[in-house]
Structure 1
Amino acid sequence: MDVDLARGIGGAVNRVLATAQNGLEVLRFGGFDTGTEPAPFQVVETEKMFRLRRYFPDDEGAGAHVILVHPMMVSANIYDVTEEKGAVSVLHRHGIIPWVVDFGSPDREEGGKERTLADHIVALSRIVDIVRETTGCDVHLAGYSQGGMFVYQCAALRRSKGIASVITFGSPVDVLAALPLGLPAGLAAPGAEFLADKVFPHISIPGWLARTGFQMLDPVKTARSRLDFLRQLHDRDALLPREDQRRFLEDDGWVAWSGPAIAELLRQFVSHNRMMSGGFVINGDLVTLAEITCPVLAFVGTADDIGQPAAVRGIVRAAPKADVYEYRLPVGHFGLVVGSVSGNQTWPTTAEWIRWCEKLGPMPDDVEPMSENPAGSGTGVTMASRVQHGLNAVADASVGIGRDLVDSAVSMQRTSRAIAAESVRTVPRLFRLGQIQPSTRISLGKLMSENNRRAREKELFLFENRVLTHEQVNTRIDNVVAGLISCGIRPGQRVGVLMDTRPSALVVVAALSRLGSVGVLLTPDLDISVGVKMTEARVIITDPNHLDIAREHSNRVLVLGGGSGDSRVIEAADGETVVDMEQIDPDAVPLPSWYRPDPGLAGDLAFILFTRGATFELTPWPVTNHRFAISAFGAASAAGLTANDTVYCLPPLSHPSGLLTTLGATLVGRSRIALSNGVDAKTFSTEVLRYGVTVVSYTWTMMADVVRSPDFEINQHNPIRLFMGSGMPAGLWADVLDSFPRAHVLEFFATADGSAILSNVSGAKLGAMGRPLPETSAVKIAAVDGDWEILRVGDDGFIAEAGVDEVGVLMSSARHRFATNGPVLSDVFGSHDRWELSNHLFRTDSDGDLWYMGAVGSVIASPGGPVFRPPIEQALSLVRGVDLVTVYRVHVGGDGDGGDGDGGVDLAVAALTVRDGAADSITVSTLRGALGGLSAAERPHLITIVGSIDLSESYRPLSSGLAAKGVPKPGPRVWYRDEEGRYRRFTKAVATELGWS
């Protein structure tokens, strides 16, 4: 017994002595000397941003080449932590030649603290070129954590050129799908935006803080690892195998992180999640992961709390053109690339993958095509995965239960949080709109000035793969203002604008607003001479494409856009003045004392647009700054626009949807605006993904050229959430929803002669105009008698309101403080009220939603009763195979003058165009079914299939050419309505019998 006691005491003493000795070595040297040597490498290229290492440089053997990329906060040595299990050693043993990118530590590199995220990606692309030039073959690009994000972004920037495959380890793509610590995206996104804007542009993260932050993501594991180390401190031999890894994690492996790079990461890839949506910016180039075409292998750590599986698997949706595979490991974030599991599985599998891509071997075992959401994967790291990872069961259960409780609470409160978030965006906008008085300074130019002060360096315009920031645009506007002043343009002057919808056109309109002039928006498909005469716009600003047209209608033309320089020659003919504004030096223009930027008041005239009424006559539409503000703020609120949105502008700037709804609402929402270079399916599909488009603006039938084109292909995981505009036919509306099932359509209606603005916010009723936007004028439908222009008086002497489904005239409440365009009536529905009378007919359904029935002058007064065009056009547009529809009036019989006493009658004719191969599907039965919701008297007298229907520049179907031809000639594709409302073939005999020949 005494011997055993002595042995026990001796053992304890030896253990204490060993602990003290080992502890002293750790304190003095930071750890144990393991005797291991790093793998040999040679720095083959050194540039400001990087040093490029080639490992095992003396090995001249042939093999595939892989470039390994480290995250910004972790040292490049992460790929060589242990001698036997390190990435470079394992890959080399499997015949792969490893190259490692070393970005260094920013706090030790010249200019390192000013590095941006784009600097790293551009540098990586440069490295790919270097290795390809050296080796003569394409390379495999691999990255861990944020290094993998770099790899994705570089492959997208290069559009996979020169890249054989992409390999990532715990690299999130859909960042907001699953954040570390279970942070809700609704809180993380605005928090990231705040940090990106206010904090990290001014500070950087030192290496020790990066290490501390990493360890705090899993404090239980960190504490347990340190406790295990202390408990085994007496046993040097037990600690040595993991000593290199411990020292890397505790000290050697961490480097500083530059503030601008963090800010860019937070803004683009956390707050806006543009790895998923596309449209992120790399040195002025717009990039999307959708342009990755090479094979992708993503390693997924099922216990990874940083690169969580749901976030990593976002790549399968973000890169639809790539073949995406995954390999799952029951490890955490660090264990994917360092440790025994990575040495035995990660790196051998990586080598086998590279050999498979090179057609030198089979697909690695357990590598499988990635699924978006594998069964049982959930949205985060499961409790079972944590247990497999070796965490303490009790601690893990507590964390898991807590996470489940948090998830449940988040789920229960999701609706209320969404409502609260929407209120935070919407209420201030509506409050500001409600506070506007005639003397309030508000204008397009002022909104752009305000956004420039708040978000100077953020993107505003996207066009042809170019990016312009608020500051760049604002500077350009000020320069154009100087040019306008030098050309003699003054506040209040009406100036024609005849330009394509490009950044230069938007700048011109904004510059006129900033100067206080009135922009008259002209288009080639209008009668420009009439428009110029109506508005007294004696000066026209144009681009080179429309110079010849502008010179035909004005003797004073200013040319802007299209470049400048000695090669640009613009000559003026006799009696005209043509000024090339690109040749004006804005710095040499003295600004007069009267110039005050953005002087526009709410009651001032801001723009003049043009419309065509039922008689197709050109009608000017004056738009005050208040009207602009109503449309801009109202549309931004209805669409829920935020800084996360990129709005794709398809309409021309001369159309209200382009100027008011798109440009105005985008500025109010502080969103990005992407300008299209044409409306066609291929351009649309490419630019939506490249720009990261979330909202598409349209007019009339514009989307038909996209969704009905045989060339239309779109990633079903595209970022579009909303289509907003006006005039979309119900049939096209249905096709758009079929093509974009996760989006909805927001249809607007605005009167040209009043202040009513309606929107179908819910999008539930195809073709409905909805209700008035908040803080815009209230509307009522006045009952009418006879010819639709006489208001019906009720028993109390006031105008009666139309009943449910009764057609009446739209009237909007007239505010005393603003001038109006239409006639204003007093004491209409009650004493002392004021209502502005429109010339538009509506009906109200039982839910209170408004349906457009056409302009007063568009009603076709047929012998059987009035025929309204819009309901017919909407109904026929829903017929399968129909492309375009227009309804028009044809006068037959009488003396031909169309007057009330000529003895003739007016017929309603519906003209259809059909899609390729669909003509035979248009039958009497389909027409009867389509128009079944209308009474017999409300249906068109004739329906004809025509070869084409003309479209305006805004894609509105035009019927004037068809109407001029009179009654359609009898034939197999023309039908007439009989007395019972049924359709029959229109023959010569029928035409003669009815007197319609």
Structure 2
Amino acid sequence: MVGFGIPGVGAAIDKVLATAQNGLEVLRFGALDTGIEPTPFVVVENEPMFRLRRYFPDEPGTGPHALLIPPLMVAANVYDVTEDNGAVSILHQSGITPWVIDFGSPDVEEGGLERNLADHVLAVSRAIDLIVETTGRDIHLCGYSQGGMFAYQAASYRDSKNILSISTYGSPVDVLAGLPVPPAIVAPLSEFLADNVVGRLWIPGWMSRTGFQMLDPVKTIKGRIEFMRKLHDRDALLPREEQRRFLEVDGWVAWSGPAIAELLRQFVAHNRMLSGGFVINGELVSLTELTMPILAFVGTADDIGQPASVRGIVRAASRADVYESTMPVGHFGLVVGTAAGAHSWPTTAAWINWNEGVGPKPDGIEPMAEPAERGHGSGVSLSSRVTHGVGSVAMAGAHLTKDLAGVATSLQRTTVALARESARSVPIMLSRMDDIRPDTRVSLGKLMSENTRRGGAKELFLFENRVLTRAQVNTRINNVVAGLIQCGVRPGAPVGVLMETRPSALVVVAALSRLGAVAVMLSPDGDMGEMLRVAHCAAIVADPDNLATAREHCGHVLVLGGGSGQSRIVIETDDDTVIDMEQIDPDAVEIPAWYRPDPGVAGDVAFILFTRSDGKLNPWRVTNRRFAISAFGAASAAALTERDTVYCLPPLHHASGLLTTLGATVAGRSRIALSNAIEPETFATEVQRYGVTVVSYTWSMLREVIRADNLEINRYNPIRLFMGSGMPGGLWDDVTEAFPRARVLEFFATADGSVMLANVAGDKAGAMGRPLPGTNEVELAAYDVLDDRLVIEDSGFVRRADPGMPGLLLSRASHRFDTNGTVLRGVFAPGDRWEVSGQLFVRDVDNDLWLVSALDRVIRSADGPMFGPPVEHHLSQVAGVDQVAAYAVGRPGTQVMVAALTLRPGASPDSLTATSLRMGLGEMPAFLRPHLIVVVDEIPLSSSYRPLTAALGARGLPEPDSPKSPGKVWFRDEVGRYRRYTSSAAAELDWSQPTLRRPDQVSVAH
């Protein structure tokens, strides 16, 4: 035939025919037939969530056993893609029996598109139990990408039980690390997508495949072109055909919408793999539960499991020995291909055998170093990207450059838009504060209803490792409302609340708010009868722990809480004065026509707290407006969001517990974590398990935790803030030293609630700061403490206090309906209105306010007025000092200021000297220093951890030192220094006479 004799024509025709034949095979079957048989396995368990494969079933498997876990979007065959380099084959060759959990594809499994992440973690845990039960041996976990996340999560959920080691391959832990967009933008965007978009969708396998390929489109296109060029050469294609087929055809499965939403919400928006506090099957889990050795494979060119993100495991698993092995590959190359066959799986096999004690430590692994703080990039270096093939971008020409520029522009626009949206979140709170008018409907119950409507499935209460969602809590509140109605409680009625800080207490307070009743917050160490009398309170809601006290003082007691179901003891009484509300069926209660949920308006009294002044108990009536102002103001100052978990420790009868903890947490829509005990081990465990980001406190509440020798907490714990009121300066210093990544946010509220101050900067230990945005303006009026009067200028108006000089704190009275105290008019200008706080403050040169004393607690000595809080602040910072309380002994005019100290555990009495005391008080004028300083064994505290100075004052003057108890009491001499207070010194001192010259104006140094 013509042309047959032309050199090369026959070869060209053969090449065309071979190309056509191979191409037809690819079109028909998706790939070339390699003739390779799959590695043998049997399915030993088939359950709705998974099938459990055991490979090489005909062999006894006397060595270690390993469970391999695939990610959601990749088929389980990822561990058996190639015959020579496949994971199962290499592990088997090293004497390890491989098991693989196969989740299937959700789009073809019954109920598969409803699966969430917890379903997969529980499936892994179930598979572990099956293997252990079958083999009688503990096992090793291996997980690729999200499969490694499942391994971490399942092991944490199981408290590391039955797991000897974990190996992961490109598995993110600090998901937000190394992102090109700030976490402050990624987090809310992820939450929005989880709540409003992806939860209703699912991603098919082809879309997963396309998304993976689009991560490196140039490489994908080059690979396809190279395949087409060699389509005639079957022998050249076959060695890589199984891998190509897996990537192009068989390797991808669908993602269910709920699983994607939960991934975005828990592990992107909240980053709870790192911080802890993620929820599995209703239980709270933290990676600090991991105690087994961990080996993480890191791809230096991996843009999915970025090195900075993968290395987050060393921070999260603080109790585990963590190793790493780096490879110059991308995400897929960690588990499939030549590099994986040469390094990943042989190293994994050696790692498993080493942990079994049957082999040496593998080469190529080293202890994982702590990664740099965020903001230092993804960890994928430019050289790695170039080496891996990104340098091929230049071949794509100007079109790709233009596309990349467009993407960058789009990203910039999106980033700016999200940043603007994020920046609006705090002003929204402040605008709500400004919009509150006397008839505005606002209350605790209404805020909780709003939060439930915004996301009822989101977690709200965390307690005893249990989780209650907003919807569950809201239902419980409504049930308690029904019970209160059944018990005769009506809107406006004052009802005592005598309960520990537990979920049931918070529910009761919210239920009273929803009903429109007034919650009277009773202190267990207060005068119960007097509190009930001044609040006109005829009923008490108590928990079982406080039932006896409630019955003693009230004839109408409602009991709630103390457990549920069969675990709760039924309250039995022989009269009708006690009603067990848990026995009331809310569905059987007939709701009256007058009931309207959340009827409270701003001017209504919502709560009654108690303060004591001049020995008299005073009710502090907190309106819904006061509550809302405090809640939104504190939430904005603390920058609380839905991504925060607040450790709510203060008692609810204290303003810090009710207003700046419960109120701020609800206003910020944060999670509320509650505790059974305030002690070091519980604190360290729950902070990590709950993912606590904010710790609340009152006074010295955290002292025994922070100063404990046995406080063992991951230094990369999630705490960013401590917020509360009354923290001593020395304890403040210890907190910031123990938690250098956190700050202290100190609040101050006057007894009548007219002033809310916050030390937002947190850089001055002991300062009260400035008024919260949206709260009343404040001013310091010059005050003559000796004569108890304001200082009037020649103009007739009150003089403003100069910096450093004590002044009476006034707040501008802008709302007539919400004023509890004395209001003065025409103070600094004609027609102005200022509410008197009864507190003395001093302003420093930076305009920050410092507490000097309450007027009724000014110590009136022969030397003139003296003030306790500055003394307590300075002495608390002296080395070796634990607690401080300054108090008065004697009659006004000749009172003696005594400062009682306790020493820290282990501190030697000899460590406290006259010199250290003088130096500690060196910033204070000599005439303001205490007359006597005494070391005592204990300082009594209230239930809110405030020193009970009245109890100390009742003891009188301390006894002088004696040979049997030396070095425990010092007195201030005529120049302000301290000397031993002996019997002879006591006999010579006359406290009724001035001991130091005093200037006309007193400056209080801080």
Q: TM-score, normalised by structure 1?
A: 0.95
Residue deviations 1:53-97 (CA, integer Å, cap 9, x gap): 000000114110000000111110111111111111111111110
Q: Distance in 2 between matches of 1:420 and 1:79?
A: 45
Cross-structure match for 1:699: 698
- Over 3 Å counting, the alpha-carbon distance change for 1:341 and 1:270 in structure 2 is same
Q: How many Å apart are 1:422 and its aligned residue?
A: 5.7
Match of 1:266 in 2: 264
Contact 2:218 2:393 in 1 (8 A): no
Report the identity percentage.
Answer: 63
For 1:4 and 1:818, the matched residues in 2 are separated by 107
Contact 2:185 2:422 in 1 (8 A): no
Equivalence for 1:738? 737
1:220 CA drift (Å): 1.6
Residue identity in the other structure for 1:911: A
Amino acid at match of 2:569: R
1:159 CA displacement? 1.1
User: What CA distance in whole angstroms lies between the structure 2 residues aligned with 1:22 and 1:43?
Assistant: 34
Residues 942, 416 of structure 1: alpha-carbon distance in 2 compared, 3 angstrom cutoff:
farther
Partner of 1:325: 323
Are 1:825 and 2:824 an aligned pair? yes
User: Distance in 2 between the 1:622 and 1:388 partners?
Assistant: 70
- State which of 971, 978, 983 in structure 2 corresponds to 1:976: 971
Matched residue, 1:894 = none
Shift of residue 388, structure 1, vs aligned partner: 2.6
Work out the CA distance in 1 between the residues paired with 2:146 and 2:402: 28
Does the alignment pair 1:455 with 2:441? no
Task: Write out aligned runs for 1:63-212 (5 A).
Answer: 63-179=63-179, 182-212=180-210
- Three-state SS of the structure 1 residue aligned to 2:781 is strand
Q: Does residue 917 in structure 1 map to residue 906 in structure 2? A: yes
Question: Moved runs in structure 1, 4+ residues, more than 6 A?
Answer: 2-5, 374-377, 396-419
CA distance in 2, matches of 1:406, 1:843: 57
Aligned residues of 1:425 and 1:640 also touching (Cα < 8 A)? no
Amino acid at match of 1:848: N
The Cα shift of 1:18 comes to 2.1
Deviation digits for residues 633-661 of structure 1 (CA, Å, limit 9, x no counterpart): 00000000011100001101111111111
- Amino acid across the alignment from 1:914: L
Tell me if 1:527 matches 2:527: yes
**Aligned equivalents of 1:671 and 1:569: distance in 2?**
33
- Displacement of 1:960 after TM fit? 1.7
Residue-by-residue CA offset, 1:641-700 (whole Å, 9 max, x unaligned): 011100001101111111111111111111101012111111100000000000000000
Q: Is the 8 A contact 1:383 1:397 kept in 2?
A: no
* Alignment check: 8 A CA contact 1:438 1:817 kept: no
The CA deviation at 1:186 is: 3.3
Query: Contact between 1:192 and 1:266, CA under 8 Å: does it hold in 2?
Result: yes
Residues 841-889 of structure 1 deviation map (CA, whole Å, 9 limit, x = unaligned): 0011111110100100111122222211111000000001100000000
Aligned pairs for 1:767-806 within 5 A? 767-787=766-786, 789-806=788-805
CA distance in 2, matches of 1:573, 1:899: 51
Is contact 2:626-2:753 (8 Å) kept? no
1:345-744 correspondence runs (5 A): 345-373=343-371, 378-395=377-394, 420=420, 423-563=423-563, 568-573=569-574, 577-613=577-613, 615-744=614-743
Tell me if the contact between 1:75 and 1:102 (Cα under 8 Å) persists in the aligned partners.
yes
Distance apart, 1:195 and its partner CA: 1.4
- CA distance in 2 between partners of 1:884 and 1:814 (Å): 37
Assess, with a 3 A threshold, how the Cα gap between structure 1 residues 689 and 404 changes in structure 2: closer, same or farther. Answer: farther
Contact between 1:422 and 1:640, CA under 8 Å: does it hold in 2?
Answer: no
Q: SS of 1:818's equivalent?
A: helix
Structure 1 segments unaligned to the other structure (5+ residues): 892-897
**Of 943, 954, 962, which aligns to 1:964?**
954
Whether 1:279 aligns to 2:261 is: no
Deviates more, 1:604-613 or 1:756-765: 604-613
Whichever residue aligns with residue 74 of structure 2, its letter is V
State the secondary structure of the residue aligned to 1:177.
coil
Aligned CA RMSD, in angstroms, stands at 2.5
3-state DSSP class of the match of 1:228?
helix
User: Secondary structure of the equivalent of 2:77?
Assistant: helix
Query: Is the 1:387–1:396 contact (alpha carbons within 8 Å) kept by the matching residues of 2?
Result: no
Contact 2:4/2:10, CA 8 A, preserved across alignment: no
Offset, 1:710: 1.5
Residue in structure 1 matched with residue 997 of structure 2 by the alignment: none
Distance 2:199 2:166 in 1: 31
Are the counterparts in 1 of residues 52 and 127 from structure 2 also a CA contact under 8 Å? yes
Letter matched to residue 124 of structure 1: V
- 1:550–1:462 distance in 2 versus 1, CA, 3 Å: same
Query: Counterpart amino acid of 1:945?
Result: V
SS in 1 for 2:200: coil
Maintained 8 Å contact 1:69/1:76: yes
Letter in 2 for 1:582: E
Amino acid at match of 1:976: F
Q: CA deviation at 1:216?
A: 1.3
In structure 1, the partner of 2:999 is: none
C-alpha spacing 1:357/1:163, structure 2 compared with 1 (3 Å): same
Distance 1:654 1:408 in 2: 53
Tell me, what secondary structure is at the counterpart of 1:307? coil
Give, in whole Å, the separation in 1 of the partners of 2:5 and 2:973. Answer: 117
- Paired residues of 1:275 and 1:288 also in contact (CA < 8 A): yes
- Once structures 1 and 2 are overlaid, which stretch shifts more, 975-984 or 19-28? 19-28
Moved more, 704-713 or 95-104: 704-713
- Deviations along 1:771-826, one digit per CA (max 9) or x if unpaired, are 00111000000111243631111121111111111101000000134321101111
CA distance in 2, matches of 1:795, 1:184: 57
Q: How many residues align?
A: 982
SS in 1 for 2:631: helix
**Alpha-carbon separation, structure 2, partners of 1:417 and 1:212:** 28
- Residue type of the partner of 1:836? E
Partner-residue secondary structure (3-state), 2:176: helix
Which residue in the other structure is 1:944 paired with? 934
Q: Could you give the per-residue CA deviations for residues 407-442 of structure 1, whole angstroms, max 9, x where no partner exists?
A: 999999999999856632211110011010000000
Rounded to whole Å, the distance in 2 between the matches of 1:908 and 1:205 is 73
Query: How has the CA–CA distance of structure 1 residues 409 and 294 changed in structure 2, closer, same or farther, with 3 Å as cutoff?
Result: farther
| Cα shift at 1:380 | 3.4
2: distance between equivalents of 1:499 and 1:415? 47
Aligned match of 1:223 in 203, 221, 224?
A: 221
Partner of 1:895: none
Instruction: Please state how far the C-alpha of 1:957 moved relative to its aligned partner.
Output: 1.2
- Pairwise CA distance, 1:170: 0.4
1:716 is paired with a residue whose SS is coil
Instruction: Give distance in 2, aligned partners of 1:419 and 1:866.
Output: 52
Deviation at 1:767, TM superposition (A): 0.7
Summarize the Cα distance change of 1:764–1:984 in structure 2 as closer, same or farther, 3 Å threshold.
Answer: same
Show the counterpart of 2:897. 908
Q: Distance in 2 between matches of 1:342 and 1:786?
A: 80
> 3-state DSSP class of the match of 1:595?
coil
CA distance in 2, matches of 1:302, 1:636: 41
CA contact (8 A) 1:494 1:535 kept: yes
CA distance in 2, matches of 1:413, 1:364: 48
1:106 match: secondary structure: coil
Q: Give distance in 2, aligned partners of 1:875 and 1:403.
A: 63
Q: CA deviation at 1:200?
A: 2.1
Counterpart amino acid of 2:511? A
Question: SS of 1:951's equivalent?
Answer: coil
Give the TM-score normalised by the residue count of structure 2. Answer: 0.94
For residues 754-903 of structure 1, the aligned pairs below 5 Å read: 754-787=753-786, 789-891=788-890, 898=891
Unmatched tracts of structure 2, length 5 or more: 962-966, 993-1006
AA aligned opposite 2:845: S
Contact 2:170–2:331 (CA under 8 A) maintained in structure 1: yes
Q: Which amino acid aligns with 2:327?
A: L
What CA distance in whole angstroms lies between the structure 2 residues aligned with 1:486 and 1:515?
Answer: 12
